[in-house]
Amino acid sequence: MNTFKGKVAIVTGAASGLGLTIALKLLSEGVLVGVWDLNNEQLNTWFGGDRNAHVQAIDVTNADRVAEGVEEVFRTFGRIDILVNCAGITGITSVKSHKVTEENLRKVFDINFMGSYYTSKAVIPYMLEANYGRILHFASVAGKEGNAGMLAYSASKAAVIGMTKVQGKEYAGTGITVNAMAPAVIRTALVEAMPTAQVKYMTDKIPMKRCGTLEEAANLAAYIVSDHNSFTTGFTFDLTGGRATY
Closest listed residue to residue 32, CA positions, set 85, 86, 79: 79
Catalytic entry in 117, 118, 132, 153: 153
Which regions of 71-139 does DSSP assign to beta strands (E)?
82-85, 133-138
CB 82 within 8 A of CB 8: yes
Residue 171 designated active-site: no
CA distance 242 to 239: 8
CB 134 within 8 A of CB 82: yes
CB 243 within 8 A of CB 143: no
CA distance 176 to 10: 15
Work out the burial of residue 213: count CB atoms within 10 Å of its CB; fewer than 13 is exposed, 13-18 middle, 19 or more buried: middle
CB 236 within 8 A of CB 157: no
Q: Mind telling me the catalytic residues?
A: 153
